[in-house]
C-alpha cells in the first residue's frame, strides 16, 4: 500500500500518578491520492496524531506504516531520514526563510539532502507554476501576500516528492477567500501527484475539498458521515 497506515495506535503520557491518553486505539489508512481531514476541539488529540503520523513522536502502543515500511521502532536517525524523504509538512504559518526567494525556499529542501541539480530547479519551478506563483519565483516573503506565502509553503512540502503530506491548520492565518484558494490548490496537488494527505483543521468550511472527514475527541477517532 502506497500511503500511511496507523494500526491500533495509543499514546499515553504519564505524570506522577496521573495518566493522560492522548490517542486511544486509533486505526486509519490513507492511500495515495486521498485527502483526509481530521477535525476536533483543542486538546482532542489532533496534534498528537500529526506528530505520530509525521514520525516526530513514537506511539506507546500500535504500529505506523509509511509506504508499507513499519516506522514504529526506528531510531532517531532513521526517523529523521523518513521525515526528510517521505513526509511533507505544511504548518499554520508558512515559516518561510526571510532572506530566500520563493524558488530558493524550495531548493533549500534539496540542499538539506545533498546538492541541487538542474532537474531540481525545473521541478521547483513546475511546483510554483502549478500553484499560481510563476510571477513570484524571485520574490522574497515580504513581497508576497499571506495566501501566496502559504502556497509557497505547500510547494515546499511537495519538493522532495514525499509519499505523505501532513497539514496542520493550513488556513489558520488566512481570510475565507484565500483559505478556499489554498486548500483547493492543495487538494489538486494531492490528486495530481498521488500523495496521501491529512489536514488537521478547525475550519469546517474547508471539508468539501476532502475525500473523508474524521472527528477526534478525547483521543478517539471516528469517521464523520454526514458532513460532506
Are 219 and 25 in contact, with CB atoms under 8 Å apart? no
Are 54 and 83 in contact, with CB atoms under 8 Å apart? yes
Q: Is the pLDDT of residue 228 over 60?
A: no
The predicted pLDDT at position 101 comes to 96
- The single residue listed with the C-alpha cell 519538493 is 159
Domains and their CATH numbers in the chain: 3-224 (3.40.50.300)
Of 48, 46, 37, 41, nearest to 13 by C-alpha is 48
Can you tell me the distance from the alpha carbon of 210 to that of 162, in angstroms, rounded to the nearest whole number? 19
Confidence of residue 204 (pLDDT cuts 50, 70, 90): confident
Instruction: Compute the chain's Rg from CA coordinates.
Output: 18
The predicted pLDDT at position 14 comes to 85
The predicted pLDDT at position 175 comes to 85
SS3 state at 73? coil
For 93-137, the pLDDT digits (tens) are: 888 999 999 999 999 988 887 788 999 999 999 999 999 999 999
| pTM score, whole prediction | 0.91
Distances (CA, A) of 145 to 97, 149, 151, 152: 15, 6, 10, 11
One-letter-per-residue 3-state SS of 168-207: ECCCCCCCHHHHHHHHHHHHHHHHHCCCEEEEECCCHHHH
Q: How many residues does the chain have?
A: 228
Sheet of strand 212-217: strand arrangement: 87-90, 164-168, 196-200, 35-39, 212-217, 220-224
The region of weakest confidence among 43-47, 207-211, 212-216 is 43-47
For 155-172, the pLDDT digits (tens) are: 999 999 999 999 999 888
What count of other Cβ atoms lies within 10 Å of the Cβ of residue 178?
A: 17
Amino acid at each position: 500500500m502506497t500511503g500511511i497506515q496507523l494500526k491500533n495506535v495509543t499514546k499515553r503520557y504519564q505524570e506522577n500518578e496521573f495518566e493522560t491518553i492522548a490517542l486511544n486505539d486509533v486505526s486509519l489508512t490513507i492511500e495515495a491520492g486521498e485527502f483526509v481531514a481530521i477535525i476536533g476541539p483543542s486538546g482532542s488529540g489532533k496534534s498528537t496524531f500529526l506528530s505520530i503520523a509525521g514520525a516526530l513522536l513514537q506511539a506507546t502502543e500500535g504500529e505506523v506504516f509509511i509506504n508499507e515500511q513499519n516506522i514504529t521502532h526506528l531510531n532517531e536517525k532513521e526517523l529523521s531520514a523518513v521525515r526528510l524523504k517521505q513526509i511533507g509538512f505544511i504548518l499554520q504559518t508558512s515559516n518561510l526563510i526571510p532572506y530566500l526567494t520563493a524558488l530558493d525556499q524550495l531548493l533549500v529542501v534539496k540542499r538539506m539532502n545533498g546538492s541541487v541539480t538542474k532537474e531540481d530547479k525545473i521541478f521547483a519551478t513546475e511546483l510554483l507554476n502549478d500553484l499560481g506563483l510563476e510571477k513570484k519565483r524571485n520574490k522574497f516573503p515580504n513581497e508576497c501576500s499571506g495566501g501566496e506565502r502559504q502556497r509557497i509553503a505547500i510547494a515546499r512540502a511537495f519538493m522532495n516528492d514525499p509519499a505523505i503530506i501532513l497539514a496542520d491548520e493550513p488556513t489558520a492565518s488566512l481570510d475565507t477567500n484565500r483559505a478556499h484558494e489554498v486548500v483547493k490548490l492543495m487538494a489538486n496537488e494531492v490528486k495530481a501527484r498521488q500523495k496521501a494527505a491529512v489536514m488537521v483543521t478547525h475550519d469546517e468550511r474547508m471539508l468539501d475539498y476532502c475525500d473523508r472527514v474524521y472527528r477526534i475527541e478525547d483521543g478517539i477517532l471516528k469517521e464523520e458521515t454526514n458532513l460532506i
